[in-house]
């Protein structure tokens, strides 16, 4: 397969070029002093200083298991100030960051104060995420983009909206956007109609690419969702169990191209759907399926970034188990971040993940693999990984 259409081959080629570049300048680094290493990292990454920098998820994790488990958790809370328990968890490494909603973001000054307090608690290492698709789906209601994805039909329009959104979020101290929607709506009855890009199925991948690039240039990590695609669903997994009955061929040809395009653009995060896809896995929903997350997303599509679940409190999840069991299943299947939108879920999920990791070496290894990917994402965003 030509390199131009093979993400894994593209990454191998890029890695070889980067290795050659490092070798060529190694002599310049020796004796350059303490400041030289930082300059070398920026040069090899090939990114503008204000953009996300790629990290290396292969670096060995030396974190105590208690902190490694914490780095898999995105927390939430009520109010415009971070509660003491949230700040403590961030300080102790028992949480990777937080997701913010409209209830946390009443105005720009209050939001900047909040995100600043989260970073201080985390020592400059907090993932601060929000859901800013555009239109009605804006957790920061006073920030761009005002247009919903459904009215965007060209790559230029998608890039412009994403650029405005990334600039606004970054200015408020938010570094991860749970957007864009990469699903291809099957028609007006689709649950993502109006939220997905309004272009034809053949054009959606180019819009997703443009949005990922624009987020990246703005210093905010994009998250494509909802893998492997919710375009054929008629209900929201937040509200009910959902089964997507598309054939594997329909999924591969109709749903996966935007995700392939995003991976080609080195998208930092992919959000896993909570729907069941019998053509891919007859038993487990996508967020809990190694066939979907490991075999398809990582194996076939070559994704090397962070897999984040959709809200772990979704009804499609709770219909199968409690949040603690769901989190364990998701991590075991290949998820790296558990998105908790309920303020009390940490009290159930953290102990369950830690207990499983303490008694199961294979699960502990999976936790450390996930933590390394989260640490690489933090480095890419200019954040300090947990130590």
Lowest mean pLDDT among 21-30, 83-92, 245-254: 21-30
pLDDT of residue 27: 35
pLDDT of residue 42: 24
Where does the chain have alpha helices with state H?
7-29, 36-45, 65-70, 84-92, 108-121, 155-171, 204-217, 248-250, 256-264, 290, 315-318, 323-333, 346-359, 361-380
pTM: 0.86
pLDDT digits 0-9 by tens, 33-54 = 333 323 222 222 333 333 444 5
Where does 174-306 have alpha helices with state H?
204-217, 248-250, 256-264, 290
- Show the tokens assigned to 47: 């990114």
pLDDT of residue 200: 85
Provide mean pLDDT across the span 225-233.
Answer: 98
pLDDT digits 0-9 by tens, 136-165 = 999 999 999 999 999 999 999 999 999 999
Name the average pLDDT for the chain: 88
pLDDT of residue 59: 52
At residue 61 the predicted structure's pLDDT band, cuts being 50, 70 and 90, is: low
At residue 62 the predicted structure's pLDDT band, cuts being 50, 70 and 90, is: confident
pLDDT at 23 over 80: no
How many CB atoms are located within 10 Å of the residue 358 CB? 13
- SS3 string, 48-90, reads CCCCCCCCCCCCCCCCCHHHHHHCCEEECCCCCCCCHHHHHHH
């Amino acid at each position: 397969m030509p390199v131009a259409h093979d993400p894994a081959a593209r990454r191998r080629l890029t890695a070889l070029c980067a290795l050659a570049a490092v070798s060529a300048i190694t002599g310049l680094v020796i004796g350059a002093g303490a400041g030289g290493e930082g300059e070398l990292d920026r040069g090899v990454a090939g990114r503008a200083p204000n953009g996300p920098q790629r990290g290396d998820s292969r670096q060995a994790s030396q974190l105590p298991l208690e902190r490694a488990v914490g780095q898999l958790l995105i927390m939430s809370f009520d109010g415009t100030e971070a509660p003491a328990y949230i700040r403590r968890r961030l300080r102790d490494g028992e949480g990777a960051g937080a997701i913010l909603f409209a209830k946390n973001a009443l105005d720009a000054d209050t939001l900047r104060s909040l995100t600043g307090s989260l970073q201080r608690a985390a020592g400059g290492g907090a993932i601060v995420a929000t859901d800013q698709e555009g239109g009605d789906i804006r957790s920061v209601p006073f920030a761009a983009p005002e247009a919903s994805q459904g009215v965007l039909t060209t790559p230029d329009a998608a890039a412009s909206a994403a650029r405005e959104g990334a600039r606004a979020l970054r200015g408020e101290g938010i570094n991860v956007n749970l957007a864009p929607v990469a699903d291809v709506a099957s028609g007006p009855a689709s649950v993502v109609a109006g939220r997905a890009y309004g272009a034809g199925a053949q054009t959606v991948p180019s819009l997703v690419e443009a949005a990922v690039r624009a987020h990246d240039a703005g210093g905010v990590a994009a998250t494509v969702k909802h893998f492997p695609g919710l375009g054929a669903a008629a209900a929201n997994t937040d509200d009910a169990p959902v089964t997507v009955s598309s054939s594997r061929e329909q999924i591969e040809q109709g749903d996966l191209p935007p995700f392939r395009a995003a991976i080609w653009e080195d998208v930092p995060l992919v959000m896993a759907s909570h729907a069941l896809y019998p053509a891919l896995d007859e038993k487990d929903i996508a967020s809990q399926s190694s066939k979907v997350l490991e075999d398809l997303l990582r194996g076939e599509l070559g994704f090397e970034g962070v897999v984040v679940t959709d809200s772990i409190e979704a009804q499609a999840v709770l219909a199968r188990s409690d949040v603690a069991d769901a989190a364990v299943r998701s991590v075991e299947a290949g998820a790296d971040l558990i998105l908790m939108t309920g303020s009390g879920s940490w009290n159930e999920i953290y102990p369950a993940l830690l207990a499983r990791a303490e008694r199961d070496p294979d699960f502990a290894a999976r936790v450390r693999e996930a933590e390394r990917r989260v640490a690489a994402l933090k480095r890419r965003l200019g954040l300090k990984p947990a130590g």
